[in-house]
Amino acid sequence: MQAVLTIQTLPQSGILASTAFAKEHLNKAVALIGDDTTQALAIVLPAAGPDHDDWRRTLARDLARAHTPIRVNVVGDNDKANTDTVLAYLRNAPGVTGQYLATHE
């Protein structure tokens, strides 16, 4: 099963968003990874500028490495249709892990 953790809002600044995610949401992500039914975790974050790319890639890579064989990916978008398409892809892509997929501009 692919668990999905959706975060609705984060600060606009990349460094503040990274800090807020770590403080407010990281424990929930780790708990979902630790659930016996979870084979993959997709973390959906709101669309953001390029100053967020590095911390989001690091989040995906570090969680995936730390929790292998559980797959962990991060999706960035505010469009539900785009997000649903990416989540469906990830559900059926057992080789994809540790990726940040930004579907917004």
- Chain segment 69-97, per-residue pLDDT in tens: 999 999 998 889 999 999 999 999 999 99
Decide if pLDDT at 55 tops 90.
yes
Instruction: Quick: pLDDT tens for 8-50.
Output: 999 999 999 999 999 999 999 999 999 999 999 999 999 999 9
Tokens of 90: 């990830």
Amino acid of residue 83: T
Strands annotated E in the chain: 2-6, 40-45, 71-76, 99-102
Q: Give CA torsion, residues 26, 27, 28, 33, to 10 deg.
A: 90
pTM: 0.95
In sequence order, what are the residues at sequence separation of 6 or more whose Cβ sits closer than 8 angstroms to the Cβ of residue 31?
none
Please report which confidence band the pLDDT of residue 104 belongs to, taking 50, 70 and 90 as the band edges: low
Question: Alpha-carbon distance 100 to 58, whole Å?
Answer: 9
Question: Alpha-carbon distance 13 to 86, whole Å?
Answer: 25
